A and B are shown apart, each in its own frame.
Chain A
Amino acid sequence: MKPGYVRRFSRTERTFHWVNAIGFFLLLATGLILYLPSLSADVGRRPLVKDVHFWGGIGWVAALALVAVLGDRSGLLRTARELDLFDREDVNWLRRRQPNEQARFNAGQKLNAALTAAFLVLFLVSGLLLWLGERDTRYRFASTVILHDGLLYASLVLLVGHLYLALIHPATRHALHGMVLGTVREDWARKHHARWDSGGRG
């Protein structure tokens, strides 16, 4: 670890994040080809794109499961617990009140994680229902396609916010360093995550 840096994300956490990101963008690209009429007309090959979208989705979830099983499982569980728990200062942070010093994750990041996970589950269930419904009327619901499309719009809102904070916003974009290399500057951590006990400081 470089001097002046502290470790924020383990290798397993980073792999989990990037597998999720790659899966999301693969499904977004193929999904938009299936969804937008002008793209559908230009690209064609709908049966092939549909197969890539469906099996890509299965592969995405399988890859996430594989990372969890083969990686540092207990570390991931500890992280999930951190994301689950909101204390008084987290609530204050959301309400723009004091005191609101944050630990390793701020309350916005915790909400983003909960919604991202929920959207993944709902994408998976509605996608499976669309696939099954094409084969068997018992799985056919009139609202499945509306749920799947609605999730697209909802997750685009989250994605735009996430990309803005990770790539553009000057105060927060250093977080990307943590998600790529695992470490963040100690002074940045003190400022934005003052209550985070990072263990061995560098």
Chain B
Amino acid sequence: MAEAPPRLQPLVTVDERGAPGHDDSRRIGRGVFLATVAGGLSSLYWGKAAWSHVSNALGGVEAAVPLVPTGGWRIYTVAATMPTFDPATWRLRIGGLVEHPQELSYHDLRALPQASQVSIFHCVTGWSVNGVRWRGVRFKDLLAHARPLTDAHAIQFVSAEQPYVDYLTLAQANLPDVMLAWEMDGKPLPREHGAPVRVVIPDMYGYKNVKWVAEINLVHQAGSGYWENLGYDRDAWVGRSNGYTS
């Protein structure tokens, strides 16, 4: 993709094609065009690094006044509408290979032992958001009452946004910075980020961080989630999967 530098001809005197009587014309228009295209294409190599320098340099400022109206996030969905959350009727079902299947209300969930963390969020399409503050519950605590059976080795996350589904192995779900989060940056998880609960696993790309989790099933082994059925990697380690090597 590295284009050869455009051959500009900025100082060429133009012959009969120039405006009559003005043979001092220069081909600046194409120079601007080619330089802009070449600069833009070269940014495929330096764009992300440059952007993270800028947003790091502005660190504190950006928290108060985001550089871009999205705060760096892009919202990806697969269904016609985003799920809506009603605290009165919402239930999280925990089932599959467990001793005691459960239905937790939003209130029940928030009464579980709480954990909080600040972590980076990476999307497989290339954007990242630094320093996201999450609060929620670790899977060890979430599953303590349901008690996974000994032959359960993975968790299936079924999203209220159908047909989105994905899996983590129990080993992945029990990494120290993995949680089911219900709070983001000090506020209840916003609708577009998966209200009321989403998976947070910072070492994996966003599509493993299932939003709008409605059902958690313990299963024998991890299957293929929504994007994995479309060719993305099942183990979506940041910088080590999906064609990326860092």
State the A residues within 8 Å of B (CB). 34-38, 40-41, 44-48, 81-90, 103, 110-111, 113-115, 117-119, 121-122, 125-126, 129-130, 133-138, 140-147, 149-151, 153, 195
- Whole-angstrom CA separation of A87 from B14 in the bound complex: 10
CB neighbours (8 Å) of B125 from chain A are: 130, 133-134, 140, 144-145
B82 on interface, CB distance cutoff 8 Å: yes
Q: Which positions in B face A, CB cutoff 8 Å?
A: 1, 14, 17-19, 22, 24-30, 32-34, 36-37, 40-41, 43-48, 51, 68-70, 73-82, 124-127, 190-192, 230-231, 242-244
Question: Shortest Cβ distance from B61 into chain A, in angstroms?
Answer: 18
Q: Are B19 and A85 in contact (CB under 8 A)?
A: yes
Chain B residue with the shortest CB-CB distance to A40: B75
Q: How many A-B residue pairs have CB under 8 A?
A: 151
Q: Determine whether the beta carbon of A150 is less than 8 Å from that of B47.
A: yes
With both beta carbons as reference points, the residue of chain A lying nearest to B26 in the complex is identified as: A86
Q: Are A143 and B44 in contact (CB under 8 A)?
A: yes
A41 contacts B126, C-beta separation under 8 Å: no
Quick one: which of A85, A133, A149 contacts B26, CB cutoff 8 A?
A85
From the candidates A44, A90, A115, A140, name the one contacting B81 in the complex (CB within 8 A): A44
- Can you show 14 pairs from A to B with CB atoms below 8 A apart? A40-B75, A40-B82, A44-B82, A81-B17, A111-B32, A114-B32, A125-B40, A140-B125, A141-B126, A143-B45, A143-B46, A146-B127, A147-B40, A147-B47
Q: Do A143 and B47 touch (CB < 8 A)? A: yes
Asked if A88 contacts B24 (CB within 8 A), the reply is yes
Nearest-neighbour CB distance to chain B for A142, whole angstroms, equals 4
